Amino acid sequence: MKETNIYETDELVSQYCDFQYGDEYFGVMNFAKACAQKAIEYSKSTRQKRALDLGCATGRASFELARSFDHVDGIDYSQAFIDAAAELQKNGRIGYAQNDEGAIKKRKKVSINDSGFWEAGSKVHFSQGDACALVPEFTQYDLIMATNLIDRLYQPQLFLKNIHERINEKGILVLTSPYTWKEEYTAKEFWVGGYVDENGREVSTLEGLTKLLEANFELIATQNVPFVIRETARKFQHTISQMSVWKKR
């Protein structure tokens, strides 16, 4: 098994390797693992054959889902993320550079060879793709999970309106997001919520999600799921995302 450090130049890939496979900070559980565990739990009442992890980044949640599902598709818009996930799948390990202080970086390696999920990894298929324009093959899922995705899509409403077509009857859709809507990612007319409407009423994202999804889904649970992303040895993003769980009618 060849060991590479090819991602040292890509700061975001390194940050996400750390986020998905590295240490925990401030006592907050690994987010990808926590989300996958919750999604597995919420989908227990249905079949657990096919799962889709949309916005899978470096793949941790996809691997975790493969502990319970027969087949998992992990899709991300970033080819660099998919390359990292695929390298972990192939070699069971990856090297990356962790920002420490200023320009000082620490070489880190994570190995998943000893983890329960590495064997399960063969059930995962990673590919680059656009959540707003998925090819037709990605369909018939018992679970679709999209963690911290919707507020980074250019067309989240389109995505949400059509996602039911890819989920089996009684299947589960798990969304998590801190609802950090920004015009640099999503034109304001496409925000799902987080705006004041023409009557001066505040529309929350959960309300917007409900409007877009209720024709095809029942909202069965919401809960807060915290996560911490390490930027340097001393600086962290500490965020409380909202998980909403939807069951297809």
User: Which residues contact a second copy by CB under 8 A?
Assistant: 26, 101-104, 178-181, 188, 191, 193-196, 202, 204-205, 228, 231-232, 234-242
Nearer to a second copy, 47 or 105 (CB): 105
DSSP 44-113: TTS--SEEEEET-TTSHHHHHHTTT-SEEEEEES-HHHHHHHHHHHHHSEEEEEEEEETTEEEEEEEE-T
DSSP structure class, residue 133: G
Supply the minimum distance, in Å, between the C-beta of residue 185 and a second copy. 11
Structure tokens at 199: 């009557």
Supply the minimum distance, in Å, between the C-beta of residue 145 and a second copy. 19
Supply the minimum distance, in Å, between the C-beta of residue 115 and a second copy. 27
Nearer to a second copy, 150 or 173 (CB): 150
Nearer to a second copy, 43 or 176 (CB): 176
Supply the minimum distance, in Å, between the C-beta of residue 216 and a second copy. 24
Nearer to a second copy, 5 or 115 (CB): 5
Nearer to a second copy, 196 or 215 (CB): 196
Structure tokens at 202: 């505040």
- What are the backbone dihedrals phi and psi of residue 34, each rounded to the nearest 5 degrees, phi first? -60, -45
DSSP structure class, residue 59: S
Nearer to a second copy, 22 or 178 (CB): 178
Q: How buried is residue 79: exposed, middle or buried, by Cβ count under 10 Å (0-12/13-18/19+)?
A: exposed
Supply the minimum distance, in Å, between the C-beta of residue 179 and a second copy. 5
Q: Give the dihedral of Cα atoms 152, 154, 157, 159; nearest 10 deg.
A: -80
Q: How far apart are CA 14 and CA 42, in angstroms?
A: 31
Supply the minimum distance, in Å, between the C-beta of residue 40 and a second copy. 24
Type of residue found at 71: H
Nearer to a second copy, 104 or 135 (CB): 104
DSSP 135-187: -TTS--EEEEEEES-GGG-S-HHHHHHHGGGGEEEEEEEEEEE-----TTTS-
Q: Considering only the C-alpha atoms of the chain, give the largest distance between any 2 of them, rounded to a whole number of Å.
A: 61
Supply the minimum distance, in Å, between the C-beta of residue 194 and a second copy. 2
